[in-house]
Structure 1
Amino acid sequence: MCSKYSVSSLRIGFVYDAVYPWEKGGAQKRIRELATRLAEDHEVHLFGMKYWEGPDRMKKDGIVYHGVCEPYELYTDGRRSIAQAIKFAAALTKPLLRENLDVVDCQQFPYFPVFTSKAHELVRQSELVVTWYEVWDDYWYDYLGPVGLGGKAVERATLKLGNTVIPISDYIADDLAKLGKTENVHVVENGVDYDALQEIPAADADWDIVYVGRLSEHKRVEHLLQAVDIISSRRGSDLNVCIVGDGPERDDLERQARDYGVDDQVEFLGFVEADEDVIANIKAAKMFVLPSIREGFPNTILESNACGVPSIVVDHPENGSTAVVDDGVTGFVVDPTPEAIADRVEEILADPNLQEQLSDGAREYGQAHDWSNIVTELEEVYLNTLN
Structure 2
Amino acid sequence: MRIAFVSFETVHHRASETNERFRSVVELLRDRGHDVHVFCAQFWADEAGRLERDGITYHGVSVGLDACESFLLRLPVALRATNPDVVHAGANPPGQVLAARSGATLSRAPLLVEWYGDGGVEGGRRRCLAARASDRIVTPSELVRRKVRELGADGNAVDVVPNGVDVERVRETDPGEEVDVVYARRLDAGANLESLLLALAELRDREWRARVLGDGPERDAYEELAGDLRIDDRVEFAGDASLDERIAAYRGAHVFAQTAQHCVFPTEMLWALAAGCVGVVEYHTDSCAHELLEGCERGFRTTSEEELADVLLEARDLEHRDYDERFAEFDHEAVGERYLDAYRDLREDRGLF
- For the aligned pair, the TM-score class normalised by the smaller chain equals 0.7 to 0.9
> In the aligned structure 1, how far is the partner of 2:236 from the partner of 2:290?
26
- Residues 174-221 of structure 1: per-residue CA shift (max 9 Å, x gap): 443444431322222222111122111223x23221112222333311
**Gap change, CA 1:307 and 1:185, over 3 Å in 2:** same
* Cross-structure match for 1:162: 134
Q: CA RMSD in A?
A: 3.2
Q: Hey, what's the Cα distance between the residues in 1 that align with 2:53 and 2:298?
A: 36
Q: Is the 8 A contact 1:89 1:116 kept in 2?
A: no
Q: For residues 69-88 of structure 1, what are the structure 2 equivalents within 5 Å?
A: 87=66
Superposition map of 1:228-239 within 5 A: 228-232=200-204, 234-235=205-206, 237=207, 239=208
Query: How far did 1:152 drift?
Result: 5.1
Deviations 1:243-299 (A, max 9, x none): 222334333323322332333322223333x32122222222111111023222222
CA distance change for structure 1 residues 14 and 314 in 2, over 3 Å: closer, same or farther?
farther
Which whole-Å CA distance do the structure 1 matches of 2:114 and 2:288 have between them?
A: 15
Q: Which amino acid aligns with 1:242?
A: R
Distance 2:49 2:221 in 1: 39
Query: Is 1:260 aligned to residue 243 of structure 2?
Result: no
**Residue matched to 2:351:** none
Distance in structure 1 (CA, Å) of the matches to 2:296 and 2:328: 18
Residue 377 of structure 1 corresponds to 338
CA 1:371/1:157 → structure 2, altered by over 3 Å: closer, same or farther?
same
**Partner residue in 1 for 2:307:** 340
Give the TM-score taking structure 1 as reference length: 0.75
Q: Which moved more, 1:338-347 or 1:56-65?
A: 56-65
Return closer, same or farther for 1:102/1:179 CA change in 2, 3 Å cut-off: same
Distance 1:58 1:332 in 2: 47
Partners of 2:280 and 2:302 within 8 A in 1: yes
In 2: Cα distance, 1:50 partner to 1:248 partner: 31
Which residue matches 1:143? none
Native 8 Å contact 2:128 2:152 kept in 1? no
Aligned position for 1:41: 33
Give the aligned partner of residue 312 of structure 1. 280
3-state SS of 2:293 partner: coil
Q: After the TM superposition, which of the residue ranges 263-272 and 219-228 deviates more from structure 2?
A: 263-272
State the secondary structure of the residue aligned to 1:58. Answer: strand
SS at match of 1:262: coil
The aligned counterpart of 1:31 is 22
Change (3 A) 1:326 1:127: same
1:61 aligns with 2:54: yes
What's the % identity of the aligned pairs? 26
The answer to whether residue 96 in structure 2 is matched with residue 103 in structure 1 is no
Aligned residue identity for 1:206? E
**AA at the equivalent of 1:226:** L
**Structure 2 length-normalised TM:** 0.82
Q: Is the 8 A contact 1:244 1:268 kept in 2?
A: yes
Corresponding residue pairs, total: 341
Provide the rounded CA distance (Å) in 2 between the counterparts of 1:170 and 1:96. 31
Tell me the residue number matched to 1:250.
219
Aligned counterpart for 1:279 among listed residues 247, 250, 253? 247
In the TM superposition, residue 379 of structure 1 has moved relative to its aligned partner by: 0.7
Contact map agreement 1:221 1:253 (CA 8 A) in 2: yes
Q: Secondary structure at the match of 1:209?
A: strand
1:323 corresponding residue in structure 2: 291
Query: Deviation at 1:110?
Result: 5.0
**Ranges in structure 2 where 5+ consecutive residues have no aligned partner:** 349-353
Match of 1:240 in 2: 209
Alpha-carbon distance in 2 for matches of 1:88, 1:251: 38
Q: Is contact 1:17–1:47 with CA below 8 Å preserved after alignment?
A: no
1:223 correspondence with 2:195: yes
Single out whichever of 181-190 and 54-63 deviates more from structure 2: 54-63
Distance 2:118 2:240 in 1: 27
Match for residue 196 of structure 1 among 169, 176, 181: 169
Quote the offset at 1:46 in angstroms: 3.0
Aligned-partner Cα distance in 2 for 1:367–1:177? 29
User: The residue matched to 1:225 in structure 2 has which SS?
Assistant: helix
Q: Which consecutive residues of structure 1, in runs of 5 or more, have no partner in the other structure? A: 1-8, 72-83, 141-150
Asked if the contact 2:17–2:118 (Cα under 8 Å) also holds between the matched residues in 1, the reply is no
